[in-house]
A = this chain, B = another copy of it.
Amino acid sequence: MPIPVDLRLEARWIVPVEPEGVLEQHALLIDGGRIVALVPTATAERDYVARERVALPTHVLLPGLVNGHTHAAMTLLRGIADDTSLKVWLEQHIWPLEARFLSPEFVHDGTLIAAGEMLLGGVTCCADQYFFPDAAARAYRQSGMRAFLGLPVLDFPTPYAADAQAYLQAGLAVRDAWKHEPRLVFALAPHAPYTVSDASWEKIVVYARQLDLPIQTHLQETRSELDQSLQSHAMSPLARLDRLGATGSNFIAVHAVHLLDSDMDLLATQGCQVVHCPTSNLKLASGLAPVAALQARGINVALGSDGAASNNRLDLFAEMRLASLLAKVVTGDAAALPAASALHMATLGGAVALGLEASIGSLRPGKQADAISVNLADFQHLPCYDPRSHLVHVAGRDQVSDVWIGGERLVQSGMLSSLDAADLAARARLWQDRLQTG
């Protein structure tokens, strides 16, 4: 008797990420939102009967992409302050704008636009850290997207909270309100070692342990951050956080551009996670992260877009390509970070970084059915000797045709099903008017 399942996806190629390699003439079987099996088409035909079948004859099917770091609501600031360094960008552009315009409505609308952009681009899960996470949670629920919400902590006031204790209280209240939402998970997100004091970090570490929450923070993004810490603390920011008890396998270091050898050792021995944001690191002239050196030490590295104000898009295909290209020139080795590794970083690497590898990141039976299909039919994508190479070096987010999260089809033939694209455009225009007229 064939086993009944909800959905059967058949694609020209399937790249499950786990195990490695490319499968042809295989089908992915999905039931109750989870992956049931990934088997040869003939086996699928014999052993399963699907309520719905989707044929993807010129497509690659792969796990949904995981955006390891973004500030989703900053889509509203897309391109508003190009061509400035991190310090000037933050202090003279972004923070003053946020002080003036930040509100739950801003965060909701910006996050909704970001979720729409990410879904259309094949991103099924993101790690977001921004103010008013309650408003972001509402937007993610509306979109159907999976999100890892970093609850922000700073030592200085914003329209969201007054001091570190207030940020923590507000954030933990959001978590309490949303913790049963199936597609949301929470973390603590102190902004950076240089914007959060030792005393605040100590509190954060206590809460993280008690509540079993990961910590995601911007770490050693610029040379001056490292230098200033060496001057004022006589140690690197990472060493300082380690002394404060913050490091470990659920410590997620975003950027990690300027690292001492001892920092790399520490990341490895503590089993920390790294999120590489290549476009943002170049655009802010921060530097070139030592990704291949980190991977050589066995450190898991995920990929992130950062926010749309320093990128200016939330596009994991662009990050895969740039990560692969940069690793080659940084190491002087053209074999560094091949396409398959970039795909691993953007999927399972992201899931591991966020502690979600039991449920997402690969097309392994038992995991959530988060999958995307990329159409390589057009002649611009031909010839195709290896679809993994094409996913990284030839195709892009514009070739994403369909997106499933937990078996739910949220993008169909390039159209959003959970969100209205015209409504998102109207919201973006409204905020542009407000920001421009002041």
List the B side residues contacting A421 at CB < 8 Å: 378-379
Q: Which residue of B lies closest to A395 (CB)?
A: B313
Q: Are B429 and A84 in contact (CB under 8 A)?
A: no
Q: Known contacts A396-B396, A396-B398; is A334 also within 8 Å of B379 by CB? A: no
Asked if A325 is at the interface of the complex by the 8 Å CB criterion, the answer is: yes
Asked if A386 is at the interface of the complex by the 8 Å CB criterion, the answer is: yes
Shortest distance between the CB of A308 and any CB in chain B (Å): 8
Cα–Cα distance between A428 and B381 once the two chains are bound (Å): 9
Q: Known contacts A84-B335, A396-B396, A425-B378; is A383 also within 8 Å of B283 by CB? A: no
Q: Are B394 and A79 in contact (CB under 8 A)?
A: yes
Cα–Cα distance between A386 and B288 once the two chains are bound (Å): 27
- Contact residues of A between 81 and 133, Cβ < 8 Å to B: 82-86, 88-89, 113, 116-117, 120-121
Q: Are B429 and A382 in contact (CB under 8 A)?
A: yes
Cα–Cα distance between A76 and B282 once the two chains are bound (Å): 32
Q: Are A425 and B379 in contact (CB under 8 A)?
A: yes
Q: Are B85 and A334 in contact (CB under 8 A)?
A: yes
Q: Are A379 and B424 in contact (CB under 8 A)?
A: yes
- Which of A121, A380, A389 has its CB near the most chain B CB atoms (within 10 A)? A380
Q: Which residue of B lies closest to A278 (CB)?
A: B325
- Contact residues of A between 380 and 438, Cβ < 8 Å to B: 380, 382-386, 389-390, 393-394, 396, 398, 421-422, 424-425, 428-429, 431-432, 435-436
Asked if A290 is at the interface of the complex by the 8 Å CB criterion, the answer is: no
Q: Are B285 and A333 in contact (CB under 8 A)?
A: yes
Cα–Cα distance between A335 and B160 once the two chains are bound (Å): 31
Asked if A217 is at the interface of the complex by the 8 Å CB criterion, the answer is: no
Q: Are B328 and A432 in contact (CB under 8 A)?
A: no
Q: Are A117 and B325 in contact (CB under 8 A)?
A: no
Asked if A331 is at the interface of the complex by the 8 Å CB criterion, the answer is: yes
- Contact residues of A between 176 and 230, Cβ < 8 Å to B: none
Cα–Cα distance between A76 and B384 once the two chains are bound (Å): 9
Q: Are A79 and B334 in contact (CB under 8 A)?
A: no
Q: Known contacts A287-B329, A313-B393, A325-B279; is A338 also within 8 Å of B382 by CB? A: no
Q: Are A394 and B285 in contact (CB under 8 A)?
A: no
Q: Are A385 and B120 in contact (CB under 8 A)?
A: no
Q: Is the interface on chain A under 10, 10 to 19, 20 to 34, or 35 or more residues?
A: 35 or more
List the B side residues contacting A398 at CB < 8 Å: 396, 398
Q: Are A283 and B325 in contact (CB under 8 A)?
A: yes
Q: Are B329 and A282 in contact (CB under 8 A)?
A: yes
List the B side residues contacting A273 at CB < 8 Å: none
List the B side residues contacting A76 at CB < 8 Å: 383
Which of B339, B377, B422 contacts A82, CB < 8 Å? B339
Asked if A362 is at the interface of the complex by the 8 Å CB criterion, the answer is: no
Shortest distance between the CB of A153 and any CB in chain B (Å): 27
- Contact residues of A between 294 and 328, Cβ < 8 Å to B: 311-313, 322, 325-326, 328
Cα–Cα distance between A160 and B321 once the two chains are bound (Å): 34
Asked if A284 is at the interface of the complex by the 8 Å CB criterion, the answer is: yes
Q: Are A393 and B82 in contact (CB under 8 A)?
A: yes
Shortest distance between the CB of A230 and any CB in chain B (Å): 19
Cα–Cα distance between A269 and B334 once the two chains are bound (Å): 34
| 20 residue pairs A–B, Cβ–Cβ below 8 Å | A79-B383, A79-B393, A82-B393, A83-B328, A86-B334, A117-B379, A117-B380, A279-B325, A282-B326, A282-B329, A285-B328, A285-B331, A285-B334, A378-B425, A379-B428, A382-B428, A382-B429, A383-B428, A384-B432, A396-B398
The 3 closest A-B pairs by CB, nearest first: A383-B432, A382-B428, A398-B398
A residues adjacent to B (C-beta < 8 A): 76, 78-80, 82-86, 88-89, 113, 116-117, 120-121, 279, 281-288, 311-313, 322, 325-326, 328-329, 331-336, 338-339, 377-380, 382-386, 389-390, 393-394, 396, 398, 421-422, 424-425, 428-429, 431-432, 435-436
